[in-house]
Amino acid sequence: MYQKELETAIKAVTQAADLCVNVRTDMVNPDAMEKGDRSPVTIADFGAQAIICKILSEAFPDDVIVGEEDTTALQKPGNAATLIKIIDYIQQFYPDATEDAICEWIDRGTGSVAERYWTVDPIDGTKGFLRNDQYAIALALVENGEVKVGALACPALSFDLDEPDSPKGVLFTAVRGEGSREALLHSNDFTPIHVVSERNPDKLRFLESVEAGHANHALNQAIARAVGIVQPSLRMDSQAKYGALARGDATLYLRLPSEKTPNYAENIWDHAAGSIIAEEAGGKVSDMYGRPLDFSTDRKMRNNRGVIVSNGSLHQAVLNAIAEKVAV
């Protein structure tokens, strides 16, 4: 079941990842962050969404796609140069692609949450992308509010996080009820992955976002210590954290509301693909109150607050620690 959906998702995120790698190789430089130059991530974002929407639409023409981008800004005269670059990169894969076709592909991602829909984040972890660090291309199929298929391409993630010379570029996939797998990008050698027990002291560590705006680092550390995790956190951009936890690199991922944005509502595309990969690997995913993540109502997860991902056995202890330390 869902074999065609899985194969299509793998093709889509792999090809989108190739485009993102090309853009980053050509355009990202060490001082891009200081100069505030977001043009590389803008080009990669639009280009990746165009490719994913094209591939999905050809395979499933009736399916709704809920994406992050649309072409409203690109159509403005001042952005003509950016649009030309997007076209150039997409034509590396589809030489006959026209401007009109590419814009149409991008705008296929402007759908609304439906009974069955795909949600795509063409680049999750924009600052990681610009920093030459972690980012992900995330795609998930949702039916009746439940994620059924997830694919997560992480071009900069090492196949073995603890081995410096390990090859980079990892693809995670999951189908509901069929487990999670990983492989190197462009490899068909998928292997099942599983969360790790906290009885493994080397992996008793937690993941959190690099950016302070996306994480309350002090609170995260206090929660981790309360459940027996004393090692320093692994700070990582994007949904690559979900994949790392799913394959046993850590036992906990905390995304609690920051002090600057206490009422922030998460985007569905920032968690849908990662959540099924963690769950199908034996982990547990909820918000900070223990509620399932809601992918059924809106582009924003307005019925949730924060995200907690664990190896499963730690989950209730983490929720108890949060209840004690966070004013709700």
Query: What residues pair up with 80 in beta bridges, in sequence order?
Result: none
Catalytic residue selected from 8, 14, 45, 249: 45
CA atoms of 92 and 95, how far apart (whole Å) = 6
For residue 121, give every residue at least 6 positions away whose Cβ sits within 8 Å of its Cβ, in sequence order, or none.
Answer: 67, 68, 136, 137, 138, 139, 239, 267, 269, 270, 273
Catalytic residue selected from 8, 42, 126, 251: 126
Asked if 225 and 204 count as a contact pair (C-beta separation under 8 A), the reply is no
CA atoms of 281 and 193, how far apart (whole Å) = 6
Query: What residues pair up with 153 in beta bridges, in sequence order?
Result: 137, 171
236 φ/ψ angles, rounded to the nearest 5 degrees: -150, 140
Chain-centre distance for alpha carbon 139:
8
Active site residue 294: no
Query: What residues pair up with 252 in beta bridges, in sequence order?
Result: 206, 310
26 exposure class (CB count in 10 Å sphere: 0-12, 13-18, 19+)? exposed
The span from the first CA to the last CA of the chain, in angstroms, equals 41
Strands (E), 185-322: 191-193, 206-208, 234-235, 252-255, 284-286, 307-310
272 exposure class (CB count in 10 Å sphere: 0-12, 13-18, 19+)? buried
Active site residue 126: yes
**Catalytically active residues, by annotation:** 45, 126
